[in-house]
Amino acid sequence: MKRFFLPLILSSLSMSHDLWVEREGSQYALYYGHLHPVQGEEKFIKYKPEDVLKFECVSSGGKPLQYKFEKSYPARLKGSCGAVLAVFSSGYWTKSVEGLKNLPKDRVQGAIEGWLSYESVKRIDSWSQELKKPLTDDLEIVPLENPLEAKVGDKLTFAVYYRGKPLKDAVVAYDEKPVGSTDDDGRINIRIKRKGLQLISTSVKEKADGVKADYVVKTANLSFEVK
């Protein structure tokens, strides 16, 4: 018994909201909020369209495909995709004596600490072995077996990559609940607990310039449907 500590970052900052992609007919819609809201939480939190930095469509082999991106709320993507990728930033956040503000640290009086937030989500809709590898150089979670064939109760292995390399000791959450941290090969096992859209998340925290923010928080989500 042992094995991992929970960095505070996971619960207090980056994982407080979910970023996910819903399939709506032939379109994909990007949502922010709480995928599984509990009492007092809103499911959807409206964001500014410009907060969406990227929304792309790729084949199951990871190759870029043609798509149409509508910069709106919610951001929409039309295309026949094996997987979709989105990057989102809610910008600078500063904790101050007057509470949390969505501003850079140098514009907040009585600032305690500040961070710049980036979140990404990858939704997989068709499987190929290529998806066992990361599609980007940024923080990314990959399934090491076909998650679309998984049933409730199955245990699947995932790997976390950052800058193209496996990331060890990364805390991983399933449905917002931390389930452990990655091993030396960046791997972690997670048991599927329910049907529907799955959301697996991890985050890293890096030092920033110290003026606008003390650190940068990057959160990556992996999403897929279990029938």
29/188 with CB nearer other proteins: 188
Q: How far is the CB of 8 from other proteins (least distance, A)?
A: 11
182/221 with CB nearer other proteins: 182
Q: How far is the CB of 190 from other proteins (least distance, A)?
A: 6
52/188 with CB nearer other proteins: 188
Query: What Cα–Cα distance (Å) separates residue 144 from each residue in 54, 61, 62, 156, 202?
Result: 25, 14, 15, 8, 16
As a three-state string, the secondary structure of 148-184 is HHCCCCCEEEEEEEECCEECCCCEEEECCEEEEECCC
Name the residues that contact other proteins, by CB under 8 A: 1-6, 153, 155, 172, 178-184, 188-191
Residue 121: strand, helix, or coil: strand
Q: How far separated are the first and last CA of the chain, in Å rounded?
A: 33
Q: How far is the CB of 125 from other proteins (least distance, A)?
A: 24
**What is the C-alpha to C-alpha distance for residues 139 and 13, in angstroms, rounded to an integer?**
17
| Partners of 96 in beta bridges | 99, 111
181/223 with CB nearer other proteins: 181
Pair 173, 139: CB distance under 8 Å: no
Q: How far is the CB of 46 from other proteins (least distance, A)?
A: 30
**What is the C-alpha to C-alpha distance for residues 225 and 83, in angstroms, rounded to an integer?**
12
Q: How far is the CB of 113 from other proteins (least distance, A)?
A: 20
179/208 with CB nearer other proteins: 179
Q: How far is the CB of 65 from other proteins (least distance, A)?
A: 34
**What is the C-alpha to C-alpha distance for residues 220 and 206, in angstroms, rounded to an integer?**
14
148/179 with CB nearer other proteins: 179
